[in-house]
Amino acid sequence: MYNAYKIAVGLHIAQCHRAYNIKGTEIQIKMFDDRLVYESPGKLPGMVKPENIRHTHFSRNPKIAAFLKAYNYVKEFGEGVDRIYRELEANGANAPSFNNNDFILRITVPKVTENELKTGKRTENRTEKLLENVPETPQKTSQKTSQKTSQKTSQIIIDLIKEDPYITTAKMAEIIGVDRRNITRNIKKLHDQGVVRRVGPDKGGFWEIIV
Q: Quick one: pLDDT band at residue 77, thresholds 50, 70, 90?
A: low
Q: What is the pLDDT of residues 112-161, one digit of tens each?
A: 765 433 333 333 344 344 444 545 445 544 444 455 556 788 888 998 88
Q: What is the pLDDT of residues 56-69, one digit of tens each?
A: 878 888 888 888 77
pTM of the model: 0.50
Q: What is the rounded average pLDDT for all residues in the chain? A: 76
Each residue of 15-32: b (16+ CB within 10 Å) or e?
bbbbeeeeeeeebebeee
Task: Specify which residues 104 forms β-bridges with.
Answer: 41, 101
CA distances from 133 to 140, 145, 199 (A): 11, 17, 39
Q: Quick one: pLDDT band at residue 87, thresholds 50, 70, 90?
A: confident
